[in-house]
Structure 1
């Protein structure tokens, strides 16, 4: 049993660090781009007069970073080689994401909008597994394209205003309808929190096409072009951490042809579940890295700060809370890396059947831990920690969302309970 970081992975981390120092840090410091990360960050990123959407300058800067990272061969790392990637594994991605987040805020990795020089592409796996050849060519290659004419950006249209975690009671529905001699579907309903619709070329819109309320089957995924007639952004939801790209939208008599279906008719929820494990383990690693950053910064500050003529770190009230956080970081790191390694060593369809509970453990605990660590960092730093001149308030406000999104922690704990008590997973039927 070997717990060491593989030598080739460590070499790649060193390569990424060198790229950040040579290409990304100078860009971060140029033209007052640091305003997107210092105390001005929320205002610099947010176009308050344009419904709170991200400022154009902010998104253009991130696009330039992705262009440089792609040119250097890093951005597509996690994608299959046939699409220009490196077949990056879950373990490598977990280690990389923790490594990046532990560096703190910066252009190399800004999770507020899922930006990183090593990208995460859940839609690639979804299209690769469920898409037609035409859809793979259009949406996978288009997802990497920088040319606006070829680019494809897909938003994930699952959540509804009245049905957050429970997608089985989806009210958005689709019925068969032929227009101009072409067979297709008319979609009606509402969606909410559909992130990225301001730049999306398509929305992966989930709608009930059969079955009854509460049935997992009978929900279908449609690739709806954006904009399209009948698809309206009703409002942009302002959030704890701005800017926003999370709208509430209405769908009124939107029509798409049969070719817009992704996957099989009626099996859309299985499709939606196909990539949550990848997303959750990588996001857990990012939260862990951010938590560790808060601990590291608090330790450094406590050694430097000398109230009453003695290091702050001498006080047990400072030491013990940080000891507990550091201990949890160490234990969680082992579980995340072990779970990611197990994911890499089994068929994709086996993950849900055998270790989905471990993925949920990693994710919900990491998201809770980073909020605790950010709060403690504020306390250790005192007034300056509460100010926006330190990054802890931003870390707290951003990562607090992940205790709700990506599967609320209660939903993930319910998954763990189902495996623990034998209602699902390997123990199913053991207590019958």
Structure 2
């Protein structure tokens, strides 16, 4: 696809065609079953299969790996459209590509790419990114999971022990791979003191000793798959090291920077969904003999929701454009994640208020958006972490 270019806010044809296709799929396939999956807390395998058939999981990958030959912005557009109606489905795509397959594409050997990317790009299999630990959330450098090189029957092997927390797409029937960050030794820091050497290692989920523990009982994202993971002397070949040894910390920071743009897109979709539902309801619902949208208090609230959404969309578009142009984008990604996450939460709160008592009923989309949106101020870097990153990029 071509370089992102905007004229009066319009997308180039190839992006607009993709957006419309995903929007149609969202409205006609995802929307009708979203409430039932959310209520039953079931993973939407039939929706994921449909997304796979559309090639969404392969959007940013080259055709040589069975991808669609698109780019990261195309992925973001798809995620945004899905999140209008179902954040669980949107995060399944985001995590499956940005956190699951992208580390292999960015840092894998050609052999690793050939082994894993066609499977993951097809959407017939999912991968997860095992970073967060029970005692190391925002402090990702506090990793306690260890991986030691030991001699095994087939040569040198990594023996992995430890645990991970809040890992998306890690326990589905089609999950085949988890990329794990682990301490593989010690290195000398800039201040001369010993620091943990963190590396990333590919762990097939069929490996003995790997366990996806029972799924979490979450406030929202009920049809997204999220598990704690445990590693009990999990042994994989030395060749499963992903990227250079000791570069795991730096590599996953790059992955998280990219992921913040995609989560920003997801949050924009959620915010837009709240606007759409509120406009529809304000036109249909009557009180005191007139549609409630004729009440300036309601109209102005929705106007602010639209302004938040447009501002957040511009932020993630800007970050994506810089990323694709090869320019520094860390600050822009943090800003996109920050403003979009807050827009989603604020819009969900306002949409629930506009809907009154109906907004408190789970069968209404705005109620689900309200429950789902809070994690957008926490996952892939909290609001406070984004502020820290922005301040740091400003030299503060």
TM-score, normalization by structure 2: 0.86
Q: 1:76 to 1:19 in 2, by over 3 A?
A: farther
In the alignment, is the contact (CA less than 8 A) between 2:277 and 2:366 conserved in 1?
no
Give 1:14-413 correspondences, 5 Å limit. Answer: 16=21, 20=25, 25=28, 34=32, 36-38=33-35, 40-46=36-42, 54=43, 58-59=44-45, 61-70=46-55, 75-102=57-84, 104-105=85-86, 110-111=89-90, 113-114=92-93, 120-145=97-122, 152-180=125-153, 182-199=155-172, 200-211=175-186, 218-241=197-220, 242-243=222-223, 245-346=225-326, 350-351=327-328, 355-413=329-387
What is the deviation of 1:380? 0.7
Distance 1:90 1:389, change over 3 A: same
In structure 1, the partner of 2:3 is none
How far did residue 314 of structure 1 move? 2.9
> How many residues are aligned here?
384
Indicate the structure (1 or 2) with the bigger Cα radius of gyration.
1
Alignment partner, residue 426 of structure 1 = none
Structure 1 residues 94 and 156: CA distance shift in structure 2, 3 A: closer
1:135 deviates by 0.5
In the alignment, the residues of structure 1 paired with residue 167 and residue 335 of structure 2 have an alpha-carbon distance, to the nearest angstrom, of: 25
Deviations 1:87-125 (A, max 9, x none): 3234444444434444x349xx92253379xx8455443
Shift of 1:379: 1.0
Unaligned runs of at least 5 residues, structure 1: 47-53, 424-432
User: In 1, Cα distance between the equivalents of 2:19 and 2:236?
Assistant: 47
CA RMSD of aligned residues (A): 3.0
Normalised TM-score (structure 1): 0.79
User: Aligned-pair distance for 1:191?
Assistant: 1.5
Q: Tell me, which stretches of 5 or more residues in structure 2 are unaligned?
A: 1-5
Work out whether residues 206 and 219 of structure 1, in 8 Å CA contact, stay in contact via their aligned partners in 2: yes
Q: Secondary structure at the match of 1:194?
A: strand
Contact 1:232 1:250 in 2 (8 A): yes
Cα offset, 1:358, TM superposition:
1.3
Q: Paired residue for 1:428? A: none
Tell me, in whole angstroms, the C-alpha distance in 2 between the residues paired with 1:168 and 1:378. 38
For 2:185, what is the secondary structure of its paired residue? coil
Report how far residue 393 of structure 1 moved.
Answer: 1.5
